[in-house]
Amino acid sequence: MTETVGCALDVEALRRKYAEERARRLRADGIAQYVEVAGEFARFDKDPWVDGEFTRAPRTDEVDVAIVGAGFGGLLTGARLRQLGVDRVRLIDRAADVGGTWYWNRYPGIACDVESYVYMPLLEELGYVPTEKYAKGAEIFAHCKRIAEHFDLYRDACLQTDVHEIRWDAATSRWIIRTNHGDQMRAKFVSMANGYQAKPKLPGIPGIATFRGTTFHTSRWDYDYTGQRLENLAGKRVGIIGTGATAVQCVPHLAAAAQQLYVFQRTPSSVDVRANEPTDQRWADALQPGWQRERIQNFQILTAGGQAPEDLVADAWTSITRKLPVMRHDSDGSSDPEQRTREIELADFSKMEEIRARVDQLVTDRGTAEALKPWYGYFCKRPCFHDEYLQTFNRDNVTLVDTEGRGVERITESGVVVDGVAYPLDCLIFATGFEVGTDYCRRTGFDLIGRDGVTLTDYWRHGVRTFQGLCAHRFPNCFIESIAQAGLTVNFPYLLDVQASHVAWVIAWALEHGATEVEASSDAEAAWVDTVLARSTATVGRAKTCTPGYYNREGKADVKTRQGSFFFGAPTEYADILQAWRTQGNLEGFTVRGAGVDR
């Protein structure tokens, strides 16, 4: 039966449309559709920000804490350790500087899409206020360097260092870190802050290796070719594959510079209002001590479905949960579950209608506007926000090549083929994102080898196993900072800081108490995994109705995917659990070994 809500929503028709759009995107090969950036594709991973080879003498020294990854996760862990008086800390990163995501990604238009006053960590500690509500990439990268300088984290850092293996040495209770420089460094503790989306991925499009023009991934932008201001693209035919959050930010810049731009789309993003603005100096001057913590907390509560008396950030992110009851935690459980499911669905349809109406308002060509409309639930894919992206398709030199969910058909020596039509190109850019859900070792480029020679890849073969979303049994003195089995957030530095503060506390406790080993017990780990699984059941139905993407392992949201998902709960519940555990102070769930503290 067709049901209409208000005068606009035909619920049955929308359900049908979403299901059709999902079906045409589902592929049997799932995440195997992507090719690894390795072998003949290794050039897509080359660091464009350094010249020549870097060599140094091998190191065999020992530190208290080795942190793998010098992005926000590593920097925050280093900063929190320093604040607790832990001195012998070493950041290790394959990049030539700190920054992680913000080191690698320097594509034109790059900016944070969460408000910078809550996204950029440690602002008060460093006495810095970003210049815009949504800071550009260069400002965020500079902030990363500022953190490293402020907390003296460049000292002892090993940059341009590829870790090859990290192995537990039971005889000495140390981790041994082997690298491309012949290092065999030792560390009492390791913190894995490798990043959640760090390894670029490429689509397995037939002929991808044959293209003879210039080609690169957005996270390794080739400014030698494009020119710093993209001035060399005048007179060039440029193609970009992918229309996710990265493409949304860089497409307007490519369009302004290229002679002709072809945007190859498989699934359109939802693109909502951005409304960036410069920081009001009077507002910045009036900020009171504690302002950032309060603002971050307020943003976290509102974007993870809670209620707060005021909305400090007041942007498209914080308005979403008011409109979408899907994530809300204000239900007392008394409402009829069916009724609640219906409300959720209707609110989502209504929000997505708003997004689709925005396309109609901003895009003049009707066919192009139709192709740019997303037909799926709001949180099926990463929401995007931009005030120029959609209008870019009104330009004469921009063509949207919509593949109707099938993806690019073929790549040839001279360009891209879709539906039998060849698009000759001088330059082909892959805005195709990063590996999610592949094996741990494939993503990090090395394996972590714990007690009795077990590798983390094998230990997690059938799904992620952690205690507190951080520690794995058989991997003593090791912390794995990632979103798996940790709290839900759209503001990743918030989660990283929650984890960094916790990791630093446990390490400082161990060093202070003379504990040589802290290891998650198998019981505590099993209980955490069970909790994660139990709490993720509500996502099953939704994942099955969502269009494929990295959020649902390309439509294969099985139990393994659920096991690697968030620790769902109230907005700050994950952080609160860790805080309460620290207050309790007896390291419950860990086996602790060492002089006088064995238990």
Contact footprint for ligand NDP (CB under 6 A): 25, 111-113, 197, 203, 205, 241-247, 249, 264, 266-267, 382, 403, 407-408, 431-434, 549-550
Determine the residue type at 109: G
**Shortest Å distance, C-beta 20 to ligand NDP:** 15
The number of CA neighbours under 13 Å toward the Cβ of 492 is: 16
**Shortest Å distance, C-beta 264 to ligand NDP:** 5
Cα 481 from Cα 449, distance rounded (Å): 17
What are φ and ψ of residue 158, in 5° steps? -115, 95
Cα 43 from Cα 53, distance rounded (Å): 15
Nearer to ligand NDP, 32 or 527 (CB): 32
**Shortest Å distance, C-beta 415 to ligand NDP:** 14
Nearer to ligand NDP, 430 or 568 (CB): 430
Of 531, 440, 524, which Cα lies nearest the Cα of 474? 524
Cα 196 from Cα 493, distance rounded (Å): 11
Classify 42 as helix, strand or coil. helix
Nearer to ligand NDP, 197 or 214 (CB): 197
**Shortest Å distance, C-beta 523 to ligand NDP:** 34
Classify 168 as helix, strand or coil. strand
Nearer to ligand NDP, 37 or 456 (CB): 37
- How far is C-alpha 282 from the chain's CA centre? 33
Nearer to ligand NDP, 78 or 433 (CB): 433
Q: Are 532 and 214 in contact (CB under 8 A)?
A: no
Say how many C-beta atoms besides its own lie within 10 A of residue 191's C-beta.
Answer: 29
Q: For the chain, how big is the Rg over CA atoms in Å?
A: 24
Nearer to ligand NDP, 78 or 244 (CB): 244
**Shortest Å distance, C-beta 205 to ligand NDP:** 5
Contacts of 599 (CB under 8 A, 6+ apart): 591, 592
Q: Are 249 and 221 in contact (CB under 8 A)?
A: no
Nearer to ligand NDP, 528 or 551 (CB): 551
**Shortest Å distance, C-beta 330 to ligand NDP:** 27
Nearer to ligand NDP, 211 or 264 (CB): 264
**Shortest Å distance, C-beta 405 to ligand NDP:** 7
Cα 112 from Cα 121, distance rounded (Å): 13
**Shortest Å distance, C-beta 14 to ligand NDP:** 20
- How far is C-alpha 345 from the chain's CA centre? 26
